[in-house]
Chains A and B, each alone.
Chain A
Amino acid sequence: MIIRSCVGTPMDDGALAVACFSSETIVAIALASVLSGLVGTIVVLRRLVSLGGGIAHAAFGGVGLALALGFDPRLGAAAVAIGAAAVLAPVSRERIARQDAVIGVLWAVGMAVGMLLVSGAAGDTQVEELLFGDLGAVQRSDLAILGGLVVLVAAAIALFRRELAATAFDDEHARLRGLPVGLLSFALLLLVALSVVGLLSLVGIVLAIALLAIPPLIALRLFRSLPAIVLGGMAIAFLLSVAGLAVGQRFHLPAGPAIILLGGVLLSLAQLAPRRVLR
Chain B
Amino acid sequence: MTEHAPLVELFGVSYRYGADLALDRVDLCVHAGDRWVLLGPNGGGKSTLARLILGLAAPSSGRLSRRRAIRAGYVPQVATFDRHFPVRVAEMVLEGRLSDRRWMRPFGTDDREATDDAIERLELASLRRAYLSELSGGELKRALVARALVARPELLVLDEPTAALDESSRRTLWSLVAALPAETSVILATHDLAPGTFAPTRAALVDRRLSAIALDSLHDHPLLCGHAHG
Over the window 15-45 of chain A, the binary record of Cβ atoms lying under 8 Å from chain B Cβ atoms (1 yes, 0 no) is: 0000000000000000000000000000001
Contact (Cβ within 8 A) A174 B98? yes
Assess whether A4 is interfacial by the CB under 8 Å rule.
no
Q: Does B147 contact A (CB under 8 A)?
A: yes
Measured between beta carbons, the chain B residues less than 8 angstroms from A178 are 69, 98-99
Known pairs A159-B104, A172-B80; A166 contacts B99 (CB<8 A):
no
Q: How far is the CB of B218 from chain A (nearest CB, A)?
A: 29
Assess A169 versus B98: contact at CB under 8 Å? Given A163-B103, A176-B54, A224-B131.
Answer: no
A45 touches B74 (CB 8 A): no
Q: Is the interface of A mostly helix, strand, loop or mixed?
A: helix
CB pair A176 B81 closer than 8 Å: no
Give bound CA distance, A48 to B92, whole Å.
22
Answer yes or no: B86 CB below 8 A from chain A CBs: yes
- On whether A173 and B74 interact (CB within 8 A), knowing A166-B95, A178-B69, A178-B99, the answer reads yes
Closest to B157 in A: A176
Q: Are A224 and B80 in contact (CB under 8 A)?
A: no
Interface pairs (24), CB distance under 8 Å:
A45-B85, A45-B86, A47-B82, A160-B104, A163-B103, A166-B95, A169-B82, A170-B79, A170-B95, A172-B56, A172-B76, A172-B80, A173-B147, A175-B56, A176-B55, A176-B74, A177-B95, A177-B96, A177-B98, A177-B99, A178-B69, A178-B99, A226-B86, A226-B87
Q: Decide if A177 touches B69 in the complex (CB within 8 Å).
A: no
Nearest-CB distance from B210 to chain A (Å)? Answer: 23
B interface, over-half SS: loop
CA distance A170 to B56 in the complex (A): 13
Report the minimum CB–CB distance from A175 to chain B (whole Å): 7
How many B residues have CB within 8 A of the partner chain? Answer: 27
Which residues of the other chain, B, contact A225 by a CB distance below 8 angstroms?
86, 88
Q: Interface code A134-160, partner B: CB below 8 Å = 1, 0 otherwise?
A: 000000000000000000000000011
Give chain B residues whose Cβ lies under 8 Å from the Cβ of A170.
Answer: 79-81, 95
- How many chain A residues touch the partner (CB < 8 A)? 24
B55, B74, B95, B99 — most chain A CB neighbours (10 Å) = B95
Q: Among B56, B86, B131, B151, find the residue whose CB has the most chain A CB atoms closer than 10 A.
A: B86
Q: Identify which of residues 51-75 in chain B touch chain A, using a CB-to-CB cut-off of 8 Å.
A: 54-56, 69, 72-74
Q: For the complex, is A229 an interface residue (Cβ under 8 Å from B)? A: yes
Of the candidates A169, A172, A176, which one forms a contact with B87 in the assembled complex, judged by CB atoms under 8 Å apart? A169
* Nearest residue, chain A, Cβ from B106: A162
Q: A226 to nearest B CB, angstroms?
A: 5
Q: Which residue of A lies closest to B73 (CB)?
A: A176
Counting CB contacts under 8 A, is A179 at the interface?
yes
Contact of A224 among B86, B96, B147, B151 (CB under 8 A): B86
Option from A45, A172, A179, A220 in Cβ contact (under 8 Å) with B98: A179
B65 CB to closest chain A CB (Å) equals: 18
Given the interface contacts A170-B81, A173-B74, A176-B74, does A162 sit within 8 Å of B86 by beta carbon? no
Q: Could you tell me the distance between the alpha carbons of A174 and B131 in the complex, rounded to whole angstroms?
A: 19
Q: Given A45-B82, A45-B85, 5 other A-B contacts at CB below 8 A?
A: A160-B104, A170-B79, A170-B81, A172-B56, A176-B55
State which residues 116-152 of B face A: CB under 8 Å: 131, 147, 151
Residues of A near B73 (CB, < 8 A) are 176
Residues of A within 8 A of B131 (CB): 224
Among B69, B79, B86, B98, the residue within 8 A (CB) of A229 is B86
- Nearest first, the 5 closest Cβ-Cβ pairs linking A and B are A170-B81, A177-B98, A177-B99, A178-B99, A226-B86
Do A166 and B104 have beta carbons less than 8 Å apart? no
Chain A residues near B54 (CB-CB < 8 A): 176
State in angstroms the CA–CA spacing of A169 and B91 once bound together. 11
Residues of A within 8 A of B147 (CB): 173
A176 to B69, CA, bound (A): 9
Of listed B54, B69, B73, B103, residue having the most chain A CB within 10 A = B103
A159 to B73, CA, bound (A): 26
Q: A166-B98, A170-B80 are in contact. Are A176 and B72 (CB under 8 A)?
A: yes
User: Within the assembled complex, what's the spacing in Å between the Cα atoms of A177 and B107?
Assistant: 14
Q: Enumerate chain B residues within 8 angstroms of A163, measured Cβ to Cβ.
A: 98, 103
Known contacts A160-B103, A178-B99, A224-B131, A169 near B81 by CB under 8 Å:
yes
